[in-house]
Amino acid sequence: MCGIVGVVGKPARDIILNGLTNLEYRGYDSAGIYLNDLNGNEYLTKAVGRISNLKEKLTPDEQGLVGIGHTRWATHGKPTVDNAHPHFDETKRFYLVHNGVIENYAELKEKYLQGVKFHSNTDTEVVVQLISKIAREKNLDGFSAFKEALKLVKGSYAFLLVDDTEPEHVFIAKNKSPMMLGLGDGFNIIASDAISVLDQTKTFVDLQDGDVGDITKDSYTIETVDGKKVERKPHVLDIDPNAASKGTYEFYMLKEIDEQPSVMRKISQTYFDENDDVKVDPKIIDSISKADRIYIYAAGTSYHAGLVGKTMLEHYTGIPTEVGLASEAGYHFPMMSKNPFFIFLTQSGETADSRVVLKEVNKRNIPSLTITNVEGSTLSREADYTMLLEAGPEIAVASTKAYTAQIAVQAVLAKALGEALNKAEAKDWNLKHDLAIAAEGMQQLVDSKESLKEIADKYLIKSRNAFYIGRGIDYAVALEGALKLKEVSYIQTEGFAAAELKHGTISLIEKDTPVIALINDPATADLTRGNIQEVVSRGANVVTIAGKDFAREGDNVVLPEINYYMSALLTVVPAQLLAYYASKDKGLDVDKPRNLAKSVTVE
Ligand code: F6R
């Protein structure tokens, strides 16, 4: 959500524009750039919509050796040019970009900025006006005024500030919103996400909440708002920049769906040793073994992966497991068992809703594990332990390979924990084999993707609404299938426990309503067939996705055989492909659905 890129000491324009383009996946609705050529010329350009609109507005002479750029996902004020960042103060001395939300902006405006002329409706402009006011009134240099202002500001932020009286510096501050510093030879870069600038450097400094910094082309100093120096050591990030490129694919979403078999193999390599024994940090296993209850917290797709994880954890470890929506728990904390253990599932590791729960967990000294795709992300740093998804960068806003990776890594955890607890189910479980079966099955499914395109074209693209139904683990996948379809195709879709439809929602079924039925649960497969008949009699167009053991003639997709607890890994693939083709064949921007952001850093 919002992307920021700043450059000091190198022609900045293209680095910023490329960096912002690489951050497009985070979601945005306007973009802007400030450039200073260190020769007395400065340029501010902003545009609504895509970065291509911003590029069109920039003239060739608008260049700079220092620059800050931003993609904005509107929170305060509509997506307009005036509300786009960078924002400036009334004297046009300071330029600021911001990712986050200033909670006390109205109060700051009222208390300190009476009579100041504002040009936007944003919370960010309040901060840049405040910095300017403090600098003028207290006769302070830009960095000192910035720090004074930060003492008054409450909320989440990653700020980049340029003071045009000393334009060879970019001043930065971070609280709750992600920001990294990239170090180069004779230049430095600041960005929301390392992926955006990997073509420039692989050496990064992870900034922490409360960090304030002064960045020049060949130096960086990090301190607290009170001026106490802090040491932040650089590290080299081992990511292949090509992993984040689309290659020959038209959209990242399809590339990422297709990558799932190799993600399964990578997880298998990472979490099994040469004797085929499961390999998880013993400290994690030791800590969870003491728990009498596991609490999984997450949002959106990750929450759906948690619902699948719960069934595996309970079956293979015997530890009761609850799954909750992070956004609900942050301010209504669940009642705790005596020895709780918290697991946070988060692709990005930055989701603000999950972070609120983790803060409370830390306050209560409850042990925690973050399962994430992003090493060094905020939730990873703030939890006691981390397990990585090993899925490679996921760029499409709609999560696909991170979802299946979350299920696979929870399976690894369930196996290791169950073995440590001496559970026969876990000891007898050949998970490595099951992961190989999953990879093979996924490959078969992605290889026959054309059949899903036909189904999407025939049943979905003309529909306004649709349903996914299933029982047991299939219900969890129904929720995910529905989310995937609605978020990228804008077809309103609900995921339902198959038997629940008749308790009210069946009234929405009419002629040609698409109902996608998932059938893998040995305990309820026949009952789900009954529920299918109920909607068929009311005119629904039913698409059946059934496990090999439960398949009947006429089923649309027959899934390769797999352990029931792992079945979500296969069932979800046709659901992902249906969503992809419904979106693409409606002519939509599959990777960047409207109003959505990849990394949701506001509550
Ligand atoms: C949907 C999707 C979102 C995320 C959610 C949580 O396709 O990706 O629902 O799952 O915003 O994000 P993370 O997993 O980064 O915490």
The number of residues in the chain equals 603
Taking the C-alpha atoms of residue 487 and residue 182, their distance in angstroms, rounded to an integer, is 33
In a 10 Å sphere around its CB, with 0-12 CB exposed, 13-18 middle and 19+ buried, how is residue 282 labelled? exposed
On whether residue 600 sits in a domain, the answer given is no
The answer to whether the CB of 301 is under 6 A from ligand 1 is yes
Number of domains in the chain: 3
The answer to whether the CB of 346 is under 6 A from ligand 1 is yes
Q: Give 192-239 pLDDT, tens digit per residue.
A: 988 889 999 999 998 988 999 999 999 999 999 999 999 999 999 876
For ligand 1, the distance from its centroid to the CA atom of residue 289, given in whole angstroms, is 28
Do 168 and 270 lie in one domain? The reply is: no
Task: Give the pLDDT confidence score for residue 1 in this predicted structure.
Answer: 66
Q: Is the predicted pLDDT of residue 98 greater than 70, yes or no?
A: yes
Do 453 and 514 lie in one domain? The reply is: yes
Domain that holds residue 393: 246-447
| Whole-structure pTM value | 0.78
Do 440 and 343 lie in one domain? The reply is: yes
On whether residue 12 sits in a domain, the answer given is yes
Number of H helices, E strands in the chain: 19, 25
On whether residue 214 sits in a domain, the answer given is yes
Percentage of the residues of the chain whose pLDDT score is greater than 90: 88
User: What is the mean predicted confidence (pLDDT) over 148-171?
Assistant: 97
Do 361 and 375 lie in one domain? The reply is: yes
Q: Give 19-45 pLDDT, tens digit per residue.
A: 999 887 777 889 999 999 999 999 999
On whether residue 598 sits in a domain, the answer given is no
The answer to whether the CB of 398 is under 6 A from ligand 1 is yes
Task: Give the pLDDT confidence score for residue 242 in this predicted structure.
Answer: 64
Q: Looking at 2, 174, 401, 584, which residue is catalytic?
A: 2
Task: Give the pLDDT confidence score for residue 23 in this predicted structure.
Answer: 83
Percentage of the residues of the chain whose pLDDT score is greater than 70: 99
On whether residue 597 sits in a domain, the answer given is no
Which residues, other chains included, contact 302 with Cβ-Cβ below 8 Å and sequence gap of 6+?
A: 345, 346, 347, 351, 399, 402, 403, 406
Boundary of a domain, candidates 432, 447, 462: 447
On whether residue 603 sits in a domain, the answer given is no
The answer to whether the CB of 348 is under 6 A from ligand 1 is yes
Do 191 and 215 lie in one domain? The reply is: yes
- If pLDDT is split at 50, 70 and 90, which confidence band does 240 have? low
Do 274 and 128 lie in one domain? The reply is: no
CATH code for the domain of 367? 3.40.50.10490
Q: Give 416-454 pLDDT, tens digit per residue.
A: 999 999 999 999 999 999 999 999 999 999 999 999 999
Task: Give the pLDDT confidence score for residue 564 in this predicted structure.
Answer: 97
Q: Is the predicted pLDDT of residue 248 greater than 90, yes or no?
A: no
Which residues, other chains included, contact 81 with Cβ-Cβ below 8 Å and sequence gap of 6+?
A: 30, 46, 47, 48
Q: Which of 412, 460, 430, 408 is nearest to 575 (CA)?
A: 460
On average, the pLDDT of the chain sits at 95
**Amino acid type, 505:** T
Nearest CA to ligand 1 atom 5: 300
User: What is the mean predicted confidence (pLDDT) over 279-290?
Assistant: 98
Do 305 and 395 lie in one domain? The reply is: yes
Q: Is the predicted pLDDT of residue 601 greater than 90, yes or no?
A: no
The answer to whether the CB of 156 is under 6 A from ligand 1 is no
Do 428 and 551 lie in one domain? The reply is: no
Boundary of a domain, candidates 447, 464, 481: 447
On whether residue 602 sits in a domain, the answer given is no
Helix (H, G, I), strand (E, B) or coil at 409: helix
User: What is the mean predicted confidence (pLDDT) over 387-393?
Assistant: 94
Does the annotation mark 598 as catalytic? yes
For ligand 1, the distance from its centroid to the CA atom of residue 505, given in whole angstroms, is 26
Do 20 and 155 lie in one domain? The reply is: yes
Boundary of a domain, candidates 214, 239, 264: 239
User: What is the mean predicted confidence (pLDDT) over 550-567?
Assistant: 96
CATH code for the domain of 88? 3.60.20.10
Query: Cis peptide before 574, with omega less than 30 degrees from 0?
Result: no
On whether residue 307 sits in a domain, the answer given is yes
Q: What are phi and psi of 166, to 5 degrees?
A: -140, 70
Q: Could you count the other beta carbons within 10 Å of the beta carbon of residue 149? A: 27
Q: Is the predicted pLDDT of residue 303 greater than 70, yes or no?
A: yes
The answer to whether the CB of 306 is under 6 A from ligand 1 is no
Do 213 and 262 lie in one domain? The reply is: no
Which residues, other chains included, contact 305 with Cβ-Cβ below 8 Å and sequence gap of 6+?
A: 298, 345, 403, 406, 407, 410, 480
Do 332 and 454 lie in one domain? The reply is: no
Does the annotation mark 432 as catalytic? no
For ligand 1, the distance from its centroid to the CA atom of residue 325, given in whole angstroms, is 12
Do 213 and 338 lie in one domain? The reply is: no
- If pLDDT is split at 50, 70 and 90, which confidence band does 597 have? confident
